[in-house]
């Protein structure tokens, strides 16, 4: 019955809305798909928690609500019956919230994230919580304390990260859509490596109430779907002001589909030379070129351009993100939440708890962040990174001011790596984020859309737009999806 989860948001809500499809049957089908694909030694392990009985319960109440709405002639909500998976750093009442960390193993939040509440209010079925790199720090899900997720297209490869579980759950057809978070690419990159669509909205677009903080000036909630329509339909529901998050923009969200019918005709697409380095995977270069040609054939005006400060994006990000993380993660002291390793005195309890609770990568980031914020170095590292961040953002602004509507780049410089493979040099590993971090530094929205396969593995094309130009971004993403052909999501059909 996974054909239901593959049907797409619009068809599903229509079938559930008219009563043709019973949410309880749908919930059973979803749980059966997860049982078949996700567990066991060769399973994908996209989910950290999933409770079939609770899901069936929720589906039962939804069925009742929909019946009442139909009888009263009220419209059914926008995501009625849509099965959605949620990254394990968004707080939920039905499931634990672990952030992929021993530190929060078994932690149950007393409240629910705004994004999750909005999904439920729109009739979505929250299916379970998905695997992730610990606290969002990583690009493979291998930094999860609970073991890695497999890539549905190649089970011996990583799905990307840090929202790898969400991307894999969608790619494998276990759910229709998913939520993730994107601090430096964690929605767009796993979407690219798993052959699905991922959208990161403008900084401040979605409430972060109930999103466990990684780096607060960069974090955003984003969405996954097998199509642009699916990912955007979910984003439409969760975007918009929230009195519980002062960093969330105060104005009502735009109609994300307002410009979608205009296609690529007349769209000015900027192509920055810096995003096509010598050493990128040749298949990705070829597919990116083909995607650009495709957009041009549909009437887009392609402009070669430059983002001159691009080479500073990785060093800037890897100063700022760890600095903010070191402050945000100071709260895990074993007193209020999560696991504790007891010791005779308080200081010792803190240090033992943190030594046992955090994984290697998280510790590396805390050390890095503490160092760049330390007395005597703060201006040299943190202050300098802040200044460079402004230059990176100004590069984008200059391009958009000169008439560029959207910028096209590959989402990643390489395809999914084999599980267990990692460069011993962390700086080299961080280079894999070279195409995604700048959007977070600039606070602009971005999307990754499948543009084909190389070495049999999915490749994503990234689109970036000016702040609050989501309708333009969605218009370009839909056009790109059309010219790039059917998404590479054949797995498991």
Which residues contact ligand GLN (rule: CB under 6 A)? 136-139, 162, 182-186, 214, 321, 433
Q: Is 30 exposed, middle or buried (0-12, 13-18, 19+ CB in 10 A)?
A: buried
Closest CA to 292 of 37, 101, 483: 483
Q: Which is nearer to ligand GLN, 188 or 354 (CB)?
A: 188
The nearest distance, CB 362 to ligand GLN, in angstroms, is: 10
The pairing of strands 83-87 and 177-182 is parallel
Q: Which residues pair with 459 in a beta bridge?
A: 452
Tokens encoding 119: 């999904």
| 306: annotated active-site residue | no
Q: Using alpha carbons, list the distances in angstroms from residue 407 to 37, 164, 198, 262, 348.
A: 37, 25, 16, 17, 51
Q: Which residue is nearest to ligand GLN (CB)?
A: 186
Q: Which is nearer to ligand GLN, 17 or 165 (CB)?
A: 165
Q: Rounded to an integer, what is the distance from CA 85 to the centroid of its chain? A: 12
Q: Which is nearer to ligand GLN, 94 or 433 (CB)?
A: 433
Q: Which is nearer to ligand GLN, 182 or 333 (CB)?
A: 182
Q: Which is nearer to ligand GLN, 324 or 333 (CB)?
A: 324
Main-chain phi, psi angles of 289, to 5 degrees: -60, -40
Tokens encoding 35: 């049982």
The nearest distance, CB 386 to ligand GLN, in angstroms, is: 17
Separation CA 344–CA 346 (nearest Å)? 7
Closest CA to 211 of 243, 180, 168: 180
Closest CA to 438 of 207, 275, 206, 252: 275
Q: Which is nearer to ligand GLN, 214 or 382 (CB)?
A: 214
The nearest distance, CB 269 to ligand GLN, in angstroms, is: 25
| 216: annotated active-site residue | no
Tokens encoding 148: 């890695």
Contact 441, 393 (CB under 8 A): yes
Render the burial of 177-199: b for 16+ CB within 10 Å, e for the rest: bbbbbbbbbbbbbbbbbbbbbbb
Separation CA 171–CA 153 (nearest Å)? 8
Contact 215, 325 (CB under 8 A): yes
Question: How many residues make up the chain in this entry?
Answer: 493
The nearest distance, CB 143 to ligand GLN, in angstroms, is: 8
CA quadruple 47, 49, 50, 55: dihedral sign: negative
Identify the active-site residue in 49, 109, 163, 186: 186
The nearest distance, CB 380 to ligand GLN, in angstroms, is: 22
Q: Which is nearer to ligand GLN, 136 or 338 (CB)?
A: 136
| 181: annotated active-site residue | no
Q: Which is nearer to ligand GLN, 242 or 433 (CB)?
A: 433
Q: Which is nearer to ligand GLN, 214 or 358 (CB)?
A: 214
The nearest distance, CB 116 to ligand GLN, in angstroms, is: 18
Separation CA 102–CA 354 (nearest Å)? 10
Identify the active-site residue in 31, 49, 80, 87: 87
Identify the active-site residue in 49, 80, 144, 162: 162
CA quadruple 357, 359, 362, 368: dihedral sign: positive
The nearest distance, CB 154 to ligand GLN, in angstroms, is: 20
Angle at 336 between CA 333 and CA 341, to 5 degrees: 50
The nearest distance, CB 423 to ligand GLN, in angstroms, is: 14
Separation CA 141–CA 162 (nearest Å)? 6
The nearest distance, CB 424 to ligand GLN, in angstroms, is: 17
Q: Residue 33 contacts by C-beta under 8 Å, 6 or more apart in sequence? A: 1, 2, 5, 172, 173, 174
Separation CA 185–CA 160 (nearest Å)? 10
So which residues are the catalytic ones? 87, 162, 186
């Amino acid at each position: 019955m996974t054909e239901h989860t593959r049907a797409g948001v619009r068809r599903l809500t229509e079938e559930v809305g008219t009563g043709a499809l019973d949410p309880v049957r749908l919930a059973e089908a979803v749980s059966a798909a997860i049982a078949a694909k996700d567990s066991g030694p060769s399973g994908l392990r996209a989910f950290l928690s999933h409770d079939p009985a609770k899901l069936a319960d929720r589906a039962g109440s939804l069925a009742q609500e929909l019946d009442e709405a139909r009888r009263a002639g009220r419209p059914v909500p926008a995501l009625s019956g849509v099965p959605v998976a949620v990254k394990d750093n968004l707080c939920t009442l039905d499931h634990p919230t672990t952030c992929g960390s021993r530190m929060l193993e078994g932690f149950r939040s007393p409240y629910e994230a705004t994004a999750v509440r909005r999904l439920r209010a729109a009739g979505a079925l929250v299916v379970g919580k998905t695997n992730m790199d610990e606290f969002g720090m990583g690009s493979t899900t291998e930094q999860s304390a609970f073991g890695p997720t497999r890539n549905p297209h190649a089970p011996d490869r990583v799905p990307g990260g840090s929202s790898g579980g969400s991307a894999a759950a969608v790619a494998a057809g276990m759910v229709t859509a998913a939520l993730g978070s994107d601090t430096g690419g964690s929605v767009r990159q796993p979407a690219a490596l798993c052959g699905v669509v991922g959208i990161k909205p403008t900084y401040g677009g979605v409430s972060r109430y109930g999103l466990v903080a990684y780096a607060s000036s960069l974090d955003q909630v984003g969405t996954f779907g097998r199509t642009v329509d699916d990912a955007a339909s979910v984003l439409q529901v969760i975007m918009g002001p929230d009195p519980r998050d002062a960093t969330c923009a105060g104005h009502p969200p735009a109609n994300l589909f307002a410009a979608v019918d205009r296609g690529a005709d007349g769209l000015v697409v900027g192509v920055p030379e810096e995003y096509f380095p010598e050493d990128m995977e040749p298949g990705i270069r070829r597919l990116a070129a083909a995607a650009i040609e495709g957009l041009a054939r549909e009437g887009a005006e392609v402009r070669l351009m430059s983002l001159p400060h691009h080479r500073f994006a990785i060093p800037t990000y890897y100063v700022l993100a760890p600095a903010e993380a070191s402050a945000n993660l100071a709260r895990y002291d074993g007193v209020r939440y999560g696991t504790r390793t007891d010791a005779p005195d308080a200081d010792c309890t803190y240090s033992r708890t943190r030594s046992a609770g955090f994984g290697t990568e998280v510790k590396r980031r805390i050390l890095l962040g503490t160092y760049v914020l330390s007395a005597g170095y703060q201006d040299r590292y943190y202050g300098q990174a802040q200044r460079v961040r402004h230059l990176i953002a100004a590069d984008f602004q200059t391009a958009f001011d000169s008439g560029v509507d959207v910028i096209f780049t590959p989402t990643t410089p390489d395809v999914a790596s084999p599980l267990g493979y990692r460069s011993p040099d962390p700086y080299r590993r961080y280079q894999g984020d070279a195409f995604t971090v700048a959007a977070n530094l600039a606070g602009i929205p971005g999307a990754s859309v499948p543009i084909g396969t190389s070495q049999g593995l999915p490749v994503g094309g990234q689109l970036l737009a000016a702040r609050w130009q989501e309708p333009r971004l969605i218009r370009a993403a839909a056009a790109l999806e059309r010219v790039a052909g059917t998404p590479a999501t054949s797995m498991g059909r």
